[in-house]
Amino acid sequence: RLAKQGIARCLLLTRRIGKGGSIKNAIPYTRGDYIVLLDADIPLHPVTIYRAVLLARKLGIDLVIANRVYRTHTLLRRVLSTAYNTLVNLFFRTGLRDHQAGFKVLIRRAAQIILVRRTRTDGLAYDTEVIVWAKKHGLKYKAVNVVWREQRTGSTILPLRALLTMLADLVMLRLLTLARKYVALQKLAIGRVVELSNIHTIGQEFITVIRASGPKKHLLDILRKLYIAIAFRRR
């Protein structure tokens, strides 16, 4: 309904490729000076979004990141999250406590640099990769405390499986940041981007793959096979 009224633009990807891949494919069709990334269940108050955009404009910040000070998560998810964030800081020294929150505000220039050109991950580690590349490119980022109340119940994501796939993504990201001379990113078309208001194809859907040479190619192949084995294993 919103798409037909021209209030919102709704896109459909013909292939299911994960959270990160969906965002990367949607960015070229956005408008405006600021881009807001937010989980579909809208787990925070709308005023928080408004304040984050104002903060970015006032301070000239390239990327505003959510730091969830209250979360309706199970004890297991909180423990795994703490372990994951500790590991991210050991690898990349971002200085942040939360690398997984699904809320960010970026200026368009930062979105083009990070979301379109640099990010590889199509899955759950996408939020972390955005932060890592922002630091790598010298962009200004700031974390803001938010109250996070997830509206979803009965998540289909298994915490341990998600953690293992994200760890595999972290290792691949570490290799990318350390050895860009031997590693390149390539976009592969796998489907179509469809405008739902008129059911017309407006572009190609793509995934990002790593092209490597030397010893790192063999390591990346092992990590890729491990990732697939974990992510697509039956419950």
User: Is 2 inside a domain boundary?
Assistant: no
Query: Considering its fold, how many domains does the chain have in total?
Result: 1
Q: Kindly state whether residue 4 falls inside one of the protein's structural domains.
A: no
Predicted TM-score (pTM) above 0.85:
no
Q: What is the CATH number of the domain that holds 150?
A: 3.90.550.10
SS (H, E, C) the chain: CCCCCCCCCCEEECCCCCHHHHHHHHHHHCCCCEEEEECCCCCCCHHHHHHHHHHHHHHCCCEEEEEEEEECCCHHHHHHHHHHHHHHHHHHCCCCCCCCCCEEEEEHHHHHHHHHHHCCCCCCCHHHHHHHHHHHCCCCEEEEEEEECCCCCCCCCCHHHHHHHHHHHHHHHHHHHHCCCCEEEEEEEEEEEEECCCCEEEEEEEEEEEEECCHHHHHHHHHHHHHHHHHCCCC
70 part of a folded domain: yes
Alpha carbon distance 29, 166 (integer Å): 27
Tens-digit pLDDT profile for the chain (235 aa)? 666 777 788 899 999 888 888 999 999 999 889 999 998 888 899 999 999 999 999 999 999 999 998 766 677 778 888 888 998 999 999 999 999 899 999 999 999 888 878 888 877 788 999 999 999 999 999 999 999 887 665 555 556 666 677 777 888 788 778 765 556 778 889 999 999 888 999 999 998 877 766 666 666 666 666 555 545 454 4
> What residue numbers bound the domain in which 57 lies?
11-231
Residue 44 lies in a domain: yes
Q: Does a structural domain hold residue 88? A: yes
